[in-house]
Chain A
Amino acid sequence: GNSVTQMEGPVTLSEEAFLTINCTYTATGYPSLFWYVQYPGEGLQLLLKATKADDKGSNKGFEATYRKETTSFHLEKGSVQVSDSAVYFCALVRLGYSTLTFGKGTMLLVSP
Chain B
Amino acid sequence: NAGVTQTPKFQVLKTGQSMTLQCAQDMNHEYMSWYRQDPGMGLRLIHYSVGAGITDQGEVPNGYNVSRSTTEDFPLRLLSAAPSQTSVYFCASSGGRPNEKLFFGSGTQLSVL
Closest chain A residue, CB of each to CB of B93: A98
Q: Mark A95-112, 1 if CB is under 8 A from B, else 0.
A: 101111111110000000
- A98-B94, A102-B42 in contact; A44/B104 too (CB < 8 A)? yes
Cβ contact within 8 Å between B98 and A43:
no
Interface residues of A (CB under 8 A from B): 32, 34, 42-46, 49, 51, 89, 93, 95, 97-105
Cβ contact within 8 Å between B58 and A99:
yes
- A103-B42, A104-B42 in contact; A98/B106 too (CB < 8 A)? no
CA distance A37 to B41 in the complex (A): 15
Residues from chain B with a CB closer than 8 A to the CB of A105 are 42
Interface segment, B17-25, B43-51, B67-75, B78-86? B43-51
Chain B nearest CB: distance from A13 CB in Å? 21
- A32-B99, A43-B90, A44-B90 in contact; A100/B105 too (CB < 8 A)? no
From A34, A51, A98, contact of B31 by CB (8 A): A98
Cβ contact within 8 Å between A98 and B96:
yes
Q: Mark B75-113, 1 if CB is under 8 A from A, else 0.
A: 000000000000000101010101111101111000000
- A98-B33, A98-B94 in contact; A43/B45 too (CB < 8 A)? no
From B40, B50, B104, contact of A43 by CB (8 A): B104
Chain A nearest CB: distance from B98 CB in Å? 7
